[in-house]
Amino acid sequence: MEQIMLAVTRLQLIFILAGSLFLYLSLGRLIPIKEKWYCRMAVYAACWLMLSMIIFIGDWVNLPPTLGVFLLIVWWCCKGSRPKRLTVGLMLASVVFAFNGFHDNCLNYFLRELPDEIYFGGTLRFLFALFLYLWIRSHSPEPDFELSPALWKLLFLLTLSPVGIELALVLLRSPHSWWDGETILADTALFLIAFVAFIGLLWAMLVLERQQQLEQEYVLARHNRKYYEALEQQQFEIRRIKHDLANHLQLLRALPEAEKNNYIDSMTENPVFSKVLVYCGDSTVNAVLTAKESLMKQKGIRFYAKVEIGQELWMEASDICALFANALDNAVEACEKLPEGQREISLEVRQGKGLLAVKAENTCRDTQAGERGALPKTTKSDAANHGFGLRSIRKVVKRYGGQMEITQADGRFTLFLYLPVPQTAYGEQEILSDGKAKGKEKVKVKG
Query: Looking at residues 156-166, what average pLDDT do you find?
Result: 89
Kindly give the pairing relationship between strand 403-409 and strand 412-420.
antiparallel
Query: Looking at residues 321-328, what average pLDDT do you find?
Result: 88
* Higher-confidence position of 286 and 274: 286
The lowest-confidence range among 65-74, 98-107, 339-348 is: 98-107
pLDDT of 187 reads: 82
pLDDT of 221 reads: 67
How does the average pLDDT of the chain come out, rounded? 79
Return the number of other C-beta atoms located less than 10 Å from residue 268's C-beta.
Answer: 9
The lowest-confidence range among 86-90, 173-177, 194-198, 317-321 is: 173-177
pLDDT of 238 reads: 61
Cα 27 to the center of its chain, rounded Å: 16
Ranked by mean pLDDT, which of 226-230, 278-282, 370-374 comes out on top?
278-282
Q: Which residues pair with 303 in a beta bridge?
A: 345
Q: What pTM does this model have?
A: 0.61
pLDDT in tens, 398-429: 889 999 999 988 889 999 999 999 877 665 44
Domains of the chain: 2-218 (no CATH), 244-274 (no CATH), 278-368+389-447 (3.30.565.10)
The lowest-confidence range among 32-41, 102-111, 323-332 is: 102-111
- The amino acid that residue 201 corresponds to is L
Distance CA 333, CA 362 (A): 10
Total residue length of the chain: 447
* Higher-confidence position of 249 and 318: 318
pLDDT of 51 reads: 92
Percent above pLDDT 90 for the chain: 30
pLDDT of 176 reads: 63
pLDDT bin (cut points 50, 70, 90) of residue 21 is: very high
Please determine, for residue 214, whether its predicted confidence score (pLDDT) is greater than 80. no
Query: Looking at residues 230-255, what average pLDDT do you find?
Result: 67
pLDDT of 441 reads: 36
